[in-house]
Amino acid sequence: MERSEVLKTEINLVLEQCLGLVPTVYSHTNEMYLQGPIKIGNKWIQTKVQLSLLGNSENIYIQTQHQHRLKIKKISEISKLMENISGENQRTQNGIICNIDLSANHNRSVYTEIASLWQSEDYDIFLNKNCTYMRFEKFAYRKQHYLELALPSIQILKHSLPSCIDLQSLVKEVTGLKPLLQKFLVFLEELKPFYENFTDIDELCQVVQPSKPTTKENWRMFVLKERVFLKIEFKDPFAPLSTMVVNVVGPTEKVGPLRHVFDDGLRDWDPNLNVHKNLLRIFDLCFFPLPSAIDSEPLSIFCHICCCHNSELGDIPIVSCDNANCSLIFHTSCLKKWFTTLKESKTFLHVAFGFCPFCRTDGGILLAARAFIKITVSRFPEDPSRWPW
C-alpha cells in the first residue's frame, strides 16, 4: 500500500478518536492541518497538527496550546504523545488545565466550545468517552435540572423543562453550543414563577399525583378534604397564572358547593401571594391536609375494583360514588373499563358515565369516570386587564 493510502487511513482513524480535530487542506502547498481541542482524561488541549500530503515526506509536526513543538513519524502516535504532554503541564486546583487561548485563530468547532465551557462553577458537565454525548447538570440554584445533547450535532436528547414545552422548536434558530446553553438558562429564569408556585404545594400539601413530582410535570393533584381533591394545572408554564386551570374532583354533593366558594373567592385573589396561599384564603383554611411523614406508613386507600392502591398507569383511587351511603372509591382507568361492560353506560365529550359497581342494585348513582369540574377556565382570560385582581 502506498504511503498516501496509509496516511489517509491513519488520518481517518485519528479523526474518529479525536473528534475535536477539524481537517483543512491547502492544495497549493500540499499540506493538511488538523486543529482543534483534544480531550485527554479530564483535560482539553488545543492542538494543531501539520502534515505533508507528498509521498516523500515522512515528518508530522504537532503544536499544542502550551507551545510544545513535536515531530513524529506516524500520525497514529498522536494520542499516546498527547497523554504524555498533558501530564507535564501546570494544573489548576481541581486538576483541569484551563489556559486555552480562545482569542487565537482556532477552528470554532463544538468541541472547542465544550473545552471553553469545561470549568464553569454554574453547572457540571458529563461527557462520554467517545465525545458523542454530553449532559449539563446541577445548575446553580437549580440542581434538579439537566440538558442532554448528542454530539457533534448538538441535537437535544432530553431535558428537565416541563413536558408540555417543545424545547426543540423554541431553539431551532439557535446555532452553536454556547447560545443553546444560554437560551436554556434564560428559560430556567423565566420559569422561576412556575416552579415557585409548586414549591409550597409539594412541601405543604398531600400531593397524590404525580406520585413523585419532578420538574417535568405542569400539574399537581392534592387532597382538599376527605374524598375531595384539587388539581392545579398551568397550561403554559411561561405564563402560569394566566393559563391556570383548577379542577375539583369528588362526589357531586361536595364538589358543587366548593365550586361556588372558589368562584366567589377569585374576586379577592391577591397577586402578591402564590397560588397555595391564595387557595388557602379562598377556602378559608389555615392549611391543607399535610403530607404523610416520611417514616409513617402511607394511607391504605385502594380501588374497590382492582383492590390496588396504584393502577397500571400509576394513578391512585380518586373517583367516589355520588351516593352518600356508599363510601367506595375507584381508579379512573378501572372505572372506565367497568363502564365498557355495561349496556347502559354512555360516553359524552370523552367522559364515560355509568352506574356504581356496588350500590347500583339499590337504585344506583351515576358516576363520571372523569370527574373533573373545570371552574376557572373563564376566570383567567388571556388579557391581564380582565383578571379579577
Q: For 346-372, what is each residue's pLDDT tens digit? A: 666 556 677 788 776 333 344 544 433
pTM for this predicted structure: 0.69
Confidence of residue 179 (pLDDT cuts 50, 70, 90): very high
Grid cell 393502577 is found at: 311
Q: What confidence score (pLDDT) does residue 372 get?
A: 34
Residue 258's nearest CA partner among 241, 242, 279 is: 279
Cell numbers at 385, concatenated = 386587564
- Find the mean pLDDT for residues 162-178: 93
209 near 215, Cβ under 8 Å?
A: no
| Per-residue pLDDT tens digits for 302-350 | 888 888 887 777 777 878 777 777 778 888 888 888 887 877 766 665 5
| All structural domains of the chain with their residue ranges | 3-86, 118-191
Q: For the domain with range 118-191, which CATH number is right: 3.40.50.2300, 3.30.457.30, 3.40.50.150, 3.40.50.300? A: 3.30.457.30
Q: Where are the beta strands (DSSP E) in the chain?
A: 22-26, 31-40, 43-52, 60-64, 69-72, 124-127, 133-139, 142-150, 155-159, 207-209, 219-225, 228-234, 244-249, 319-320, 329-330, 346-348, 351-355, 366-368, 372-374
| Tens-digit pLDDT profile for residues 239-294 | 999 999 998 888 777 888 898 899 888 888 998 999 999 999 999 999 999 887 54
In this prediction, residue 2 carries a pLDDT of 60
Percent of the chain residues topping a pLDDT of 70: 68
Give the model's pLDDT for residue 94.
34
pLDDT at 116: 83
Does residue 233 contact residue 249 with C-beta atoms inside 8 Å?
Answer: no
Question: Which DSSP category does 310 fall into?
Answer: S
**What are the pLDDT digits (tens) for 62-73?**
666 555 555 555
What pLDDT sits at residue 360?
A: 62
Contact 139, 123 (CB under 8 A): yes
